[in-house]
Homo-oligomer: A and B are copies of this chain.
Amino acid sequence: MNVERAKSTRLTRPTPSELGVLRVLWRLGPATVRDVHEALNAREPTGYTTALKFLQIMHGKGLVERDESRRAHVYKARLTQAQAQSQMTSQLVDGVFDGSTSKLVLSALGGSSRTTPEELAQIREMLDRLDGVEK
CA distance A130 to B123 in the complex (A): 12
A12 to B: closest C-beta gap in Å: 14
Tell me whether chain A's interface is mostly helix, strand or loop, or mixed. Answer: helix
Would A106 and B92 count as touching, CB distance under 8 A?
Answer: no
Would B108 and A123 count as touching, CB distance under 8 A?
Answer: no
Within 8 A of B (CB), among A86-135: 86, 88-90, 92-93, 95-97, 100-117, 119-120, 122-124, 126-127, 130-131, 133-134
Interface residues of A toward B: which range?
35 or more
Task: List A residues at the B interface (Cβ < 8 Å).
Answer: 16, 19, 81-82, 84-86, 88-90, 92-93, 95-97, 100-117, 119-120, 122-124, 126-127, 130-131, 133-134
